Copies of this chain bind each other. A is one copy, B any other.
Amino acid sequence: MQALPGFRDFLPDQCAARNYIFARWREVARRYGFVEWEGPVLEPTELYKKKSGAEIVDQLFNFTDKGEREVALRPELTPTLARVVTTHEREFKKPLKWFSIGQFFRYEKQQRGRLREHFQLNCDIIGEVDLAADIELVALCIDILCAFGLTEKDFVVRISDRDFWTNFLREKNVSPGRWEELLQAIDKSGREPREKTAEKLGELTDPVFALLKIGGKSEKLDKLADGLGIRGLADFVAIDVGIVRGLAYYTGIVFEVFDRAGKFRAIAGGGRYDNLIQQLSDGAVSMPALGFAMGDVVLGEVIKGIPRAHEAMQKAIASDRKIDIYFVIAKEERRADALTQLQQLRDRGYRVDYPLTATKVPKQFQAAEDVGASLAILYGDEWPQVKVKKLATREESLIAHDALLDSVAKFFNVSSSA
């Protein structure tokens, strides 16, 4: 028996890598004053049918539950956020800066690197129409990637403005009913043959490609770039009107993050969705909003591909995983004494491991090395003394067993301040 196709088992090494990503996501989001929340992984299918593009509904993991409800494993967080914010609108001072780390699901055709689940960080600002919020959000996205040891040489945030294109379509007298379809075509233009895009764009083909070539400009995009410049982040961003984003609900500023080498799909993406909350609440609540999402799969591949980032991850994982103390039980007559002290050390917060059953001493020292223990404490013929061995220096000393707690405390105080 195996896991379902597209679903991952996280063995200890993979789980540690996942947790490394989560920890940095959480740490930087909180540095920016973002507050954590979470929604359900199962939602009424209607929530997605109503608000997302057609593409997403085709790819839902959806079913009818035993209570005849149409339900779906969530493919994205934004509709849930809109639902929650609408329901609890009066309980919080605006603007909200909220983030969430959770799992998302899509029933996609199996392809290389395309899973059916992934974890995602979502960061959103609700209730602020000012461009200052867009700047804060993009800065957060950049700093999160920097926390993994990535630099402006490794990734770029491509920033665009949907208004640039809707203004263009308005000028060309295109009826708003067709905008969504044309925006999707522009979004895909970089990934599709020109003929295919031309079919969809018709007489707009030449002006669109001309704009894509010369690059768009707008006062809003300039201001955004200035705001990031003030924070010293100018080198991380590029204005690129070719970015439109596939989801139907975006308005205003949109952005996607790519590795500079161009080897991977987007690392993160997001933008403004000023109308979504109003739509979802059938007009009851109107609130501007913006956010981005970053998945663990592409990010994990990017980290692996950049030696500096990969090494930083391996180092952090190894140090995080370390056991403090390993108990070597050389004489089984001393096991009970050892376990009494083991409990006392664990109660004081130390990570302590030991062999569950009688084991040869060299094998126990090997186990101590394997778990990265700083100290080995040997219970044997020396009792009522115990032998304390510092594994880094191989230095050994004998101490009275009832002085062990103090001695251990001293050792770890010195090494933590060193």
Contact = CB atoms under 8 A, between A and B. Distances in A.
Interface stretch (A170-178, A180-188, A352-360, A405-413): A352-360
Interface residues of A, number: 91
A272 to B, nearest CB: 14
Contact of A339 (B30, B231, B342): B231
A254 to B, nearest CB: 19
B36 A19 contact: yes
Given A31-B352, A349-B31, A233 B343 contact: yes
B356 A128 contact: yes
Interface stretch (A65-73, A198-206, A243-251, A385-393): A65-73
Given A4-B43, A39-B9, A351 B321 contact: no
A404 to B, nearest CB: 15
Contacts of A35: 12, 321
Interface string A237-258: 0000000000000000000000
A155 interface: no
A16 to B, nearest CB: 7
B12 A107 contact: no
B63 A64 contact: yes
A124 to B, nearest CB: 13
Interface of A: 1-5, 7-12, 15-16, 18-19, 27, 30-33, 35-44, 46-47, 61, 63-67, 69, 71, 73, 80, 83-84, 86-88, 91, 93, 95, 97-98, 103, 105, 107, 117, 125, 128, 130, 132-133, 136, 139, 143, 146, 227, 230-233, 280, 321, 323, 336, 339-340, 342-344, 346-347, 349-354, 356-357, 370-371
